[in-house]
A and B are shown apart, each in its own frame.
Chain A
Amino acid sequence: MAGTQTTGTQVQPPKTSLPFMKKEDTWAMIIALLLIAGITITYFTGGFQFFKAMAVKVPSWSNDFSKVSASFSKNPMGIITLFGFFLLCFSAAAKVMGYNVKKFAASFFVLCLISVFITVAGSNKFLKAYQLETPILALVFGMIVGNFAKLPSWFEEGLRTEFYVKTGIVLMGATLPFTTIMSAGPLAMLQAGIVASVTFFTIYFAATKLFGLDPRFGATLGAGGSICGVSGSIAVGGACRAEKEHVSMAISLVVVWAVIMIMILPVVAHNIGLEPGVAGAWIGTSEFADAAGFAAAEQYNALANLPAGDDRAVKAFTLMKVVGRDMFVGLWALLAAILSVTLWEKKSISQSERVDYGEVWRRFPKFVIGFFAASIFTTLVIASIDPKLGSAYSKDALGVVKTFRGWTFTWTFLCIGFTTRFRALAAAGWKPFMAFTIGVIVNVPLGYYLSTVVFAEYWMGIK
């Protein structure tokens, strides 16, 4: 393998990794990129109406349900085609990935039905007044059902939070101009780098120096609280050979805090009147997991009652989380791997076990490539056509992509709720809990300060 320290025989890619076509990242990219390509091609060559009809939106309503029913009866096939299309795509992917396709399809169908009811309820002005918007409704509904009822196993087959959120993130890439990524990327990386480093080392030192925990455990906790949540704990835990029990505890803490943050961050950001871009950046540095972060950013959007198409909070969140934090998990994993075989084992580089520099690529979240590819593709399309046609394409074609992204996120939020079983999470113990919580206490204000003061000007200007 390229980058392996050994100078003898080439090492093949580790068989510990799933084959490319068996990964959710791969299928999230394939489905989303083909969808974007299909929408774009049909927009310019004909047949776009098929996708446009599928882009079902639920109107706001108060006491009179007729507004909603009129919207559905105006385009009765829209919702059927939408769910049928995604059912086919996801089921095909599920088959290749080795899921039970029948169970998956049945489950996804039910998930779609629930998502309609949740979206309709979340569009109600009365519920909105109580801040019960679609993201929170989906999350709370899922958590109540998931924690108090015994779900059938066939339904659990379709609850694939990561699959849906990754598909949504790649779709998100299409709506984020690559020029914005290029201009915001370094700033997002800087801000995220500061917050991630400070939080990681705060948790690590709290865990090891204050509470006497194993350094591997400290690093795994630190990665979960600073880099990218569960994925961070898994990547760094694997790289530094942390114990399974320690990784499980770190994940439990990430999940619990991620859910708490979905409830707190959007409400606080909205109530203190943060600008959407600033709020998104703060959520991007303070949320622990992608799926949870999107829930928080979408919830902020809903609370702030931003007009349709105003994606500033979600865009800022995505730049901060995906570009600023997720991309670097491989480097953190490599750092942890080197530290684990040298410093933590008190051995010199020449005595220590060899570290595989391929860690950087192996732990890299591959769906990020799809996110960039989608952004580059639509940016090139817009740049290569007449400006008027370009704005029409942005509004119409990418508007459809946004609507699809909205549905994938609603399925994500429902899945977060259904799958967050608090009693199933490992008992973390007070020491890891305290170490992680100290990290949260540092992370949230630091992210707030950087987003609202140091880099505020940029985030306020994001479009």
Chain B
Amino acid sequence: METAQKLPIVTYLTQIIFHLTLNQEDIDDAAIWQGTVGSGQVRRLGELMTKRTERVAAMMDLLAAAGFEFEVKKNVVYATSDQVEAFEAKQRLLEAGFKDREFQILLEYTRGWGML
């Protein structure tokens, strides 16, 4: 018989969000639109976007190895796990050389049965 004593006090879901599109600040940092607008700037933007998607794919590979599952909605990739804690996932990403601003973490705790 399953009893409350065996149930956890909390459960959690770690979600890591990757935007496949560029942030305005990335575009600004790269100073793409300075000077006269031309095809070279658009190519430069394309390179930035390719770089971004490559980085996201690399982060996904890393998280997939840790058991994360993925969903995508409107150019946003959601990596979800109920086995890897948020701090662990972040640690892995940073240790692999990714930067804080390349991802966003949401951590949702749910109270276990019987908690006030």
Contact = CB atoms under 8 A, between A and B. Distances in A.
B108 A251 contact: no
A241 B5 contact: no
B23 A352 contact: no
Contact of B75 (A9, A252, A351, A420): A9
B104 interface: yes
Interface in B38-73: 71, 73
Contact of A156 (B4, B8, B15, B99): B4
B111 A230 contact: yes
A135 to B, nearest CB: 14
A384 interface: no
Nearest to B108: A16
B93 to A, nearest CB: 10
Given A151-B3, A238-B108, A252 B116 contact: no
Contact of A230 (B80, B101, B116): B116
Nearest to A159: B114
B23 to A, nearest CB: 5
Among A6, A248, A425, which residue has the most Cβ atoms of chain B within 10 A?
A: A6
Nearest to B8: A248
A421 B114 contact: yes
A6 B23 contact: yes
A247 B110 CA distance: 10
B3 to A, nearest CB: 6
A252 B9 CA distance: 8
Contacts of B108: 14, 16-17, 238
A260 B28 CA distance: 56
Contacts of B22: 8
A341 B100 contact: yes
Given A9-B19, A244-B12, A258-B116, A423 B5 contact: yes
Contacts of B4: 151, 156, 419, 421, 424
B32 interface: no
Given A238-B107, A292-B116, A352-B100, A16 B15 contact: yes
A150 interface: yes
A199 interface: no
A161 interface: yes
Contact of B106 (A14, A152, A234): A14
Contact of A15 (B8, B19, B71, B103): B71
Interface string A137-171: 00000000000001111001001011000000000
Nearest to A8: B21
B115 interface: yes
A234 B23 contact: no
B96 interface: no
Contacts of A395: none
Contacts of A457: none
Contact of B5 (A4, A10, A356, A421): A421
Interface in B66-116: 71, 73-76, 78, 80, 85-87, 90, 99-101, 103-111, 113-116
Given A14-B15, A425-B9, A254 B100 contact: no
Contacts of B13: 16
A415 to B, nearest CB: 8
B34 interface: no
Contacts of A162: 111, 116
B10 interface: yes
Contacts of A338: none
A255 interface: yes
B37 interface: no
Contact of B116 (A229, A418, A423): A229
A419 B111 CA distance: 13
Interface string A1-23: 00010111111101111000000
Interface string A218-230: 0000000000011
B7 to A, nearest CB: 8
Interface of A: 4, 6-12, 14-17, 150-153, 156, 159, 161-162, 216, 229-231, 234, 237-239, 241, 243-244, 247-248, 251-252, 254-255, 258, 288-292, 341, 345, 347, 351-354, 356, 415-416, 418-421, 423-426
13 contacts: A7-B24, A8-B22, A14-B17, A14-B108, A153-B2, A238-B108, A241-B107, A243-B87, A255-B115, A351-B101, A353-B100, A420-B116, A424-B7
Given A4-B104, A153-B1, A162-B111, 6 more contacts: A8-B19, A161-B114, A243-B85, A247-B9, A292-B116, A421-B4
* 4 closest A-B pairs by CB: A419-B114, A16-B108, A8-B21, A7-B24
